[in-house]
């Protein structure tokens, strides 16, 4: 998937009204499934106990508006922007004055041209979101207020795509699919995850991609897969993947998991921020809850709530760029390559330095632009391969690129100087 194709996927998904349940999630997964044939949707009935939570009723919406009775104009229109309706709003069809309507209106006075994103998942109420500029232009009414929605027993839907590897040790990549028209905060992450899945061919690890509603979706997956979580060797949540800010990586609860170290390594030498774990944010906090304590970090560009467009109508497809999504993908791909190629070896000729020339190892490096660096990588790998240090350990200690160290290890192994140890 090219950068432009990732952006086209964001644009296609953008109009859909997603929530933590409902047909918007199903349609989103249908489109993702066009790109990932292995994607399977799972339906979990309302009322199902999932850890300390219960799957809620399913919400769907067909139309909503506020109409000026005098002019017949829809002054707020769900068909124009689905953010205009508070998520999980219950049905309403009444005529009321502004005094009655005002408690149900949400604006951003400090960002008067933007429409906020608001939800009310677990309290039955209704509301509209609009720009402060629109709110100031409304008179006293009367207004026809209409929300054509349903809140009834149904299902929570999440998607799962598995790319089998030669090992049953898994890499988990999790994206939330519960936000409506917000391009950076969830759609760019979905597009990058799809592109990563398409790039994987016969990987070493098994890769498991989860597309689920935030919080309740991850909790539901964990509740239904408790016997599987021990297989997760590495993981991350992916969101806010398309803005122009620098990469941010948030460590797992463990703080020193292999995935934490992989991202720390590949981000060296470029503008970035590595954040310590905190129990707030995206679904890493579910995977890292103490009863699971999975090695799951979080990859974003500008983190949640740190850019003005966050959870507003300003987070539209023009806010995310193909270039930024491509950079996120390439950063993720580099970290994946570390996880895929990291090994621990035993030097089979540890008494002194083995003669590399007669094994053709120096000659094999001829013509490379990084010949000196590659030679140093061979020496570091031989010196540190005592069965206690992984290739990532060696790359960190030597301050050499991981790929250079891994290439050196491949050459030494092929020459019979290294033996791979089981993880």
Residues annotated within the binding site for Zn(2+) are 179, 185, 311
Provide the b/e sequence for 100-138 (b: ≥16 CB within 10 Å).
ebeebbbbbeebeebbbbbbebeeeebbbbbbbebbeeb
Q: How far apart are CA 114 and CA 314, in angstroms?
A: 6
Cα 288 from Cα 297, distance rounded (Å): 9
The contacts of residue 175 (CB under 8 Å, 6+ apart) are 186, 189, 190, 193, 209, 210, 211, 212, 237, 238, 239
Beta-carbon neighbour count of residue 270 at 10 Å? 10
- Output the CA–CA distances (angstroms, integers) from residue 75 to 38, 67, 71, 174, in the order listed: 43, 6, 10, 38
How far is the C-alpha of 60 from the C-alpha of 77, rounded, in Å?
Answer: 16
**Residues 282, 286: Cα–Cα separation, whole Å:** 8
The DSSP bridge pattern shows strands 170-176 and 92-96 to be unpaired
Beta bridge pairs of residue 232: 170
The answer to whether 83 touches 116, Cβ cutoff 8 Å, is yes
Note whether 89 and 133 are within 8 A (CB). Answer: no
Contact (CB, 8 A) for 128 and 116? no
State how far the Cα of 79 lies from the Cα of 77, in Å rounded to an integer: 5
In terms of Cα–Cα distance, which of 238, 144, 183, 152 is closest to 7? 183
Annotated binding-site residue numbers: 179, 185, 311
Q: Where are the beta strands (DSSP E) in 301-357?
A: 344-347
């Amino acid at each position: 998937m090219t950068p432009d194709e990732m952006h086209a996927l964001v644009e296609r998904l953008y109009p859909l009204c997603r929530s933590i349940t409902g047909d918007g999630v199903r349609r989103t997964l249908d489109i993702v499934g066009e790109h990932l044939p292995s994607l399977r949707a799972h339906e979990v009935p309302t009322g199902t106990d999932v850890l300390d939570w219960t799957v809620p009723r399913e919400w769907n919406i067909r139309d909503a508006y506020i109409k000026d009775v005098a002019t017949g104009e829809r002054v707020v229109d769900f068909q124009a922007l689905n953010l205009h309706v508070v998520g999980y709003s219950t049905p309403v069809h009444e005529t009321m004055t502004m005094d009655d309507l005002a408690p149900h209106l949400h604006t951003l006075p400090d960002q008067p041209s933007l429409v906020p994103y608001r939800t009310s998942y677990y309290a039955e109420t209704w509301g509209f979101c609009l720009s402060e500029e629109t709110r100031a232009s409304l008179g006293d009414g009367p207004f026809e207020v209409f929300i054509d929605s349903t809140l009834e027993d149904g299902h929570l839907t999440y998607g799962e795509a598995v790319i089998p590897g030669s090992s049953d040790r898994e890499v988990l990549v999790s994206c939330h699919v519960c936000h409506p028209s917000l391009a950076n905060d969830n759609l760019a992450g979905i597009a990058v995850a799809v592109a990563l899945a398409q790039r994987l061919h016969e990987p070493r690890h098994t890769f498991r991609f989860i597309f689920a509603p935030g919080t309740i979706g991850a909790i539901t997956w964990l509740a239904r897969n408790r016997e599987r979580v021990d297989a997760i060797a590495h993981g991350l949540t992916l969101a806010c993947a398309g803005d122009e800010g620098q990469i941010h990586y948030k460590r797992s609860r463990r703080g020193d998991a292999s995935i934490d170290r992989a991202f720390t390594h590949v981000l060296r030498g470029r503008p970035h921020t590595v954040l310590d774990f905190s129990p707030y944010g995206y679904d890493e906090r579910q995977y890292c809850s103490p009863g699971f304590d999975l090695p799951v970090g979080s990859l974003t560009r500008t983190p949640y709530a740190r850019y003005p467009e966050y959870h507003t109508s300003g987070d539209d497809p023009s806010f995310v760029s193909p270039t930024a999504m491509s950079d996120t993908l390439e950063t993720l791909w580099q970290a994946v390559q570390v996880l895929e190629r990291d090994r621990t070896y035993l030097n089979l000729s540890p008494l002194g330095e083995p003669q590399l020339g007669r094994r053709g190892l120096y000659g094999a490096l001829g013509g490379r632009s990084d010949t000196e660096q590659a030679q140093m990588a061979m020496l570091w790998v031989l010196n540190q391969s005592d069965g206690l240090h992984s290739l990532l350990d060696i790359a960190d200690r030597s301050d050499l690129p991981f790929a250079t160290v891994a290439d050196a290890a491949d050459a030494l192994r092929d020459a019979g100087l290294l033996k791979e140890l089981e993880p």
